[in-house]
Amino acid sequence: MAINFLFVDHAPSLGGAERSLLLLLRHLDRTLWEPHLACPEGVLAEEAWKRGVEVHPFDFPRLKRSTVAPMDWVGRARKLAALSRGTGAVALVGNTVRSTFYGALAAKFAGIPFIWHMRDFWLGEGRPRRLWADTLGKRLLCALSSSIIANSHATASHIPCRGKVKVIHNGIEVMAFDTGMDGSRFRQKHGIPAGAPLVGTVGRLRPWKGQTRFLRVFARVLREMPAAWGVVAGGAVFGVEDGYEERLHHLADDLDIADRVVFTGHLADTRPALAAMDVFVHPGDPEPFGLVNVEAMAMGKPVVAFAHGALPEIVVDGETGILVPPGDESAMAEAILQLLGSPSLRTAMGSAGRRRAEREFSVERMVSQLGQVYLEALGVEGSGKE
């Protein structure tokens, strides 16, 4: 008989956490696991349903600072506990921070284990102004969780109960990233010459993703290599309207590179963009993981990134790419120029990156390791093989 788990996620749209969850749900062995998902109506719910997952519409409001907020939290957690009993779930799994606050308490009410999958450094987006409050919240979740899964050692270092933490790197369907994929159509669509050196970055348009740094770095590259082109792939996935995209276009104008930088907007499939690039760049703040770097390596692309966050766990400096000192835009530009100027080095690093993606970041490895943690949380002996 399959083991029934209830996953919880607060997002209606697809971010990195949601894509990783969908990949897990797709590859779980349904003879062993029967996954359910509580989440708001939206794209995540639709995609999970397409994968044969029973979806239960459930809203996870933002936790507000007010005298009634604790009662709202407890009341909704009780409803979630009732849902878990109704589905026959033997454990709850929190996929995002907000849903974890509800799910952890709900699991206590239901008398079942709670597994916290922590995918971020902080409980909110960005470094909190009050670190003590972030630590206090994490300690509460530590106390309520039976097991904690961190997506990197960098993420684990921010969790105050390290004894409960198991590090399991995110995985991808490596075979879906064909190193022989032709990027010519992408180049033609965006007016990029077939033989032009192309460097790019992929990610949501948010300041911490580093698109402003990429533009400044590319301006340095363009001065040394006038034939080069740049790509900024990504959009505002969660509908954030703060003028950031407009500021990026203004910066490109100010740097006098607007005619050499392509802004693609949101891409449902980033593989054509990655296939067209000669070098992939990760210019952002420290990442809890950074799945797109694995995807670029799986496409056989060398990666240039800052040596911070989880990036040193993904990119092997001098083997699958080049890591430069955090924030050093000059060093990043030099690394890009080094790779653009050496096709043989790009090929060697790209091939090594592909092998590393196959060996260390496959979805099969991820699902097997997660299955083992799930069984351990239930006190069940098993291999966790999927």
Written as six digits, the tokens of 41 are: 């109506």
pLDDT at 119: 96
pLDDT bucket at 102, cuts 50 / 70 / 90: very high
pLDDT reading at 386 higher than 60:
no
What mean pLDDT do residues 194-206 have?
95
Written as six digits, the tokens of 61 are: 């409001």
What mean pLDDT do residues 259-270 have?
95
Q: What is the mean pLDDT of the chain?
A: 94
Q: Quick one: 265 exposed, middle or buried, by C-beta within 10 A (0-12, 13-18, 19+)?
A: exposed
Beta bridge partners of 165: 148
Give CA–CA dist 309/96, Å, rounded: 19
pLDDT reading at 123 higher than 90:
yes
pTM of the complete model beyond 0.95:
no
pLDDT bucket at 303, cuts 50 / 70 / 90: very high
Strand order in the sheet with 147-150: 54-57, 33-39, 3-8, 91-94, 114-118, 147-150, 165-167
pLDDT at 126: 80
Say which residues have a Cβ less than 8 Å from residue 7's Cβ, sequence separation at least 6: 21, 25, 35, 36, 37, 38, 92, 93, 95
Give CA–CA dist 277/229, Å, rounded: 9
Instruction: Choose the weakest-confidence range: 2-11, 91-100, 338-347, 377-386.
Output: 377-386
Give CA–CA dist 37/57, Å, rounded: 8
What is the dotted CATH code of the domain comprising 174-360? 3.40.50.2000
Nearest to 177 by CA among 311, 95, 271, 99: 271
**Percentage of residues in the chain with pLDDT exceeding 70?**
96
Give CA–CA dist 236/269, Å, rounded: 15
The terminus-to-terminus CA distance of the chain in angstroms comes to 15
What is the dotted CATH code of the domain comprising 3-171+362-377? 3.40.50.2000
Name residue, tokens 């990760």. 282
Give CA–CA dist 155/135, Å, rounded: 13
pLDDT digits (tens, 9 = 90+) for 136-159: 999 999 999 999 999 999 999 999
Contact 23, 173 (CB under 8 A): yes
pLDDT digits (tens, 9 = 90+) for 205-232: 999 999 999 999 999 999 999 999 999 9
pLDDT digits (tens, 9 = 90+) for 325-368: 999 999 999 999 999 999 999 999 999 999 999 999 999 999 99
CB half-sphere exposure, 347, CA atoms < 13 A? 4
pLDDT bucket at 108, cuts 50 / 70 / 90: very high
In the chain, CATH 3.40.50.2000 sits at 3-171+362-377, 174-360
Contact 150, 170 (CB under 8 A): no
pLDDT bucket at 63, cuts 50 / 70 / 90: confident
Neighbouring C-beta atoms of residue 223, cutoff 10 Å: 12
pLDDT at 191: 97
